[in-house]
Structure 1
Amino acid sequence: MEQVQPTEKQVQVKKKKRVYSLDMLRGIIVALSVFLSTIPYGQVDYPYFRHAQWYGVTLIDIILPTFITIFGVSMAIAYQRGVKWEKILKRTVRLIVYGIIFTIIVEWTLDFQTIRLTGVLQMFALLGIVTVAITKFVQSPLKLMAIALLVSSVYGGLILYTGQSCEGGLPQPECNPSHIIDSTVFGESHLYHHGERGYDPEGLVTSLSALSNVLFGYAFGRLILTRKETGAWRELLGIGALLIALSLAWDQFLPYNKRLWTPAFALLAAGFAASMLSILYLIFDKRKTDAKETALKPVVWFLEAYGRNSFLIYFGKFMLGSVLIHLSVTHDGIEKSLSRVINEWVATFTPHPQLAYGLLNLIFWTIVAFVCHKKKWYLKV
């Protein structure tokens, strides 16, 4: 029997199994997160690099919801041939356990009377299993986006209704549904500590709104999969513009707020993710030749290294930061944290030690990302 050799086009298709735009966006978000979230507080403040205190939105605010939207995109691509519930349930349990371990390291405590039970990894676990349940029955991108808009609108109505009795007629740190619902479910001592336990940015209440981001992301992923011939970049660009416009409209009634994940905030992140996916898809995926075979290869390699180990780097940077803050050494006769020692050393050769400290963290995690990518070591949960 004559053996048929694959054509050049078939070889290229085989090589392009991964959706580069997804890895590229994930890489951009994680690299940006490493730099921004590791800039220490000091003499100089960088308000645009810090989280908004309550209402408003900054650059770092948009990182987590974009990451969660990307989570939805990756689910659509990973589960295109169906899901195995046993595997999903095991993954959910692992995320919850890892989330508690993560909290123990970051908060540097073993006090189980006050340890926080909620968190980003726990949110991923909850959102993942709910999204799988919904998408078992709904796969249409249009219907998924309609459900996402419904979820966001219902959540917005709830926030507005409960906020009528608050100062200014809008939810406040001590006057919001999270303060009531999350404290009732988990106990006030187990909630987000930095908000004086008045709200939980990764609690059940905010998870309802974050679900819209995962569903939007899943819809974007389905668009990418079902528009292989023509490319989904036009649809994604139009959807991104529409969602950003809707977020501006919502902002007039219920302003951007990361702590409560208001509809304006959720829609802005989803719109940003769709727009970025559109641009990156056009650059890296909608090409006759593999992006790795062009002048874009260094960019692809850098962002792919971050993107394919996003969980390791995104959560690892917080754990490393906690270790550097809580471990001390005697330096110049004074006991100082490792973080302070490094910061003071950096200050000896730059007038911007805080930014340089963030840059050092970026360099460290870039080396980790490159080594892992070179050896094909990827942390999967």
Structure 2
Amino acid sequence: MPKAQQMKKKRVYSLDMLRGIIVVLSVFLSTIPAGSIEYESLRHAEWYGVTIIDVILPTFITIFGASMAIAYQRGVKWEKILKRTVRLIVYGIIFTMVVTWSLDFATLRWTGVLQMFAFLGIVTVTITYFVKSPLKFMLIALLVSSIYGGGLLTIGQSCEDQLPQPDCNPSGIIDSALFGENHMYHQGERGYDPEGLVTSFSALSNVLFGFAIGKLIISRKETGVWKELLAIGLLVIALSLVWHQFLPYNKRLWTPAFAMLAAGLTSTMLSILYLIFDKGKVDAKETFMKPIVWYLEAFGRNSFLIYFGKFMLASFLVHLTLKIDGVNEPLASILYEGVASFVPHPQLAYALLNLLFWTVIAFICHRKRWYLKV
């Protein structure tokens, strides 16, 4: 069998494992409801700062870049790319309608995470026509971050503390001009759009870092690529710490420090998982780790379904009601009160209940080999 065909057939299990870890964390952390305990370290940072849930999306996007490199190693079919881009945009608009529970086109948000994926995918594929080597992809990623960071610092000079603020940042200027305030995140009331064109430009660096990682995995599978992934990861994390001194971690604006931190963590985690599962140091099928691997693979191979499905389920639970004692109660409240009646930590238990639901869905789909591809 030709070497190219062997490479095509062999999955990169570390990508599935990392996707699985990210999606499991996302389901649990994003479904912890408000309650008597704040769990601030598990919530999104309000502005500057970073928490574990903050790095989930940029890590997911970096993995997206790595997966693209592997999927397109034999070339790009533009017809498929364009169809995929249109699908992502349409799905993104439908997703927004469900999550916001609104069909009002006067205030419909045109931006969103799926639309961001569409933009990042088409731009990255275009770049692949001119750039081939992993090193050049990384250099372009660094250039994108540097240009973006320079723009933020320049605009920040006129803001409080000489740093971009919610009411003083380029997203509030550029995204509102492009889409109109009524079609932005929270109708522009927050002063920025976390998935607008401005932050998407910065997020491009994550996809490019990921693409470079994917190309490294393809070209150096047999030569200990995990060592290179580890070195790259640690170097990029170090660069993020340097950027943090000038422009702190900020998910809302996707600052260079934030983008690099997520890219570095992704490469570092992939190196460890690659050593364990792809390099063959641990044969997961013959060890006690088999159930864990199967569990993570079930989530990883249906990452889009579960990652976005959890938001849609949450919207259904919040907006669909049952009449109890003459009062319409949201299904989410009914479930939460039921959980709270017999466990000491109802907020965490409610999140675990959500995770259990998606575990069942992931297991059924994985067993039947049903995978949502976009």
Q: After TM superposition, list the pairs within 5 Å mapping 1:1-381 onto structure 2.
A: 17-193=10-186, 196-287=189-280, 291-381=284-374
- Cα offset for 1:344? 0.3
Q: Equivalent residue of 1:193, what SS?
A: helix
- Cα offset for 1:138? 1.0
Q: 1:197 to 1:187 in 2, by over 3 A?
A: farther
Write the deviation string for residues 68-113 of structure 1: whole angstroms up to 9, x where unpaired: 0000000000000001000000000000000000000000000000
Q: Equivalent residue of 1:220, what SS?
A: helix
Structure 2: gaps spanning 5 or more residues: none
Asked if the contact 1:237/1:275 (under 8 Å) is kept, the reply is yes
Write the deviation string for residues 119-163 of structure 1: whole angstroms up to 9, x where unpaired: 000000000000000012212111100000000000000000011
- Cα offset for 1:190? 0.3
Q: Residue 106 of structure 1 aligns to which amino acid in structure 2?
A: V
- Cα offset for 1:232? 1.0
Write the deviation string for residues 271-325 of structure 1: whole angstroms up to 9, x where unpaired: 0000000000001000178533444321221111000000000000000000000
Asked if the contact 1:69/1:214 (under 8 Å) is kept, the reply is yes
Asked if the contact 1:188/1:197 (under 8 Å) is kept, the reply is no
TM-score scaled by length of structure 1: 0.95
Deviates more, 1:354-363 or 1:288-297: 288-297
Aligned length: 371
Q: Distance in 2 between matches of 1:233 and 1:201?
A: 32
Q: Residue 122 of structure 2 aligns to which amino acid in structure 1?
A: I
Q: 1:197 to 1:289 in 2, by over 3 A?
A: closer
Q: Equivalent residue of 1:151, what SS?
A: helix
Asked if the contact 2:91/2:114 (under 8 Å) is kept, the reply is yes
Asked if the contact 1:39/1:358 (under 8 Å) is kept, the reply is yes
Q: Distance in 2 between matches of 1:290 and 1:133?
A: 38
Asked if the contact 2:181/2:187 (under 8 Å) is kept, the reply is no
- Cα offset for 1:178? 0.3
Q: Distance in 2 between matches of 1:15 and 1:153?
A: 35
Q: Distance in 1 between matches of 2:288 and 2:34?
A: 39
Q: Equivalent residue of 1:252, what SS?
A: helix
Q: Distance in 2 between matches of 1:99 and 1:164?
A: 35
Q: Distance in 2 between matches of 1:14 and 1:233?
A: 17
Deviates more, 1:203-212 or 1:284-293: 284-293
Q: Distance in 1 between matches of 2:283 and 2:348?
A: 36
- Cα offset for 1:333? 3.9
Asked if the contact 2:239/2:257 (under 8 Å) is kept, the reply is yes
Q: 1:15 to 1:210 in 2, by over 3 A?
A: closer
Q: Distance in 2 between matches of 1:80 and 1:145?
A: 17
Q: Distance in 1 between matches of 2:133 and 2:214?
A: 11
- Cα offset for 1:44? 1.1
TM-score scaled by length of structure 2: 0.96
Q: Equivalent residue of 2:269, what SS?
A: helix
RMSD (Å) for aligned C-alpha atoms: 1.6
Asked if the contact 2:134/2:216 (under 8 Å) is kept, the reply is yes
Q: Equivalent residue of 1:53, what SS?
A: coil
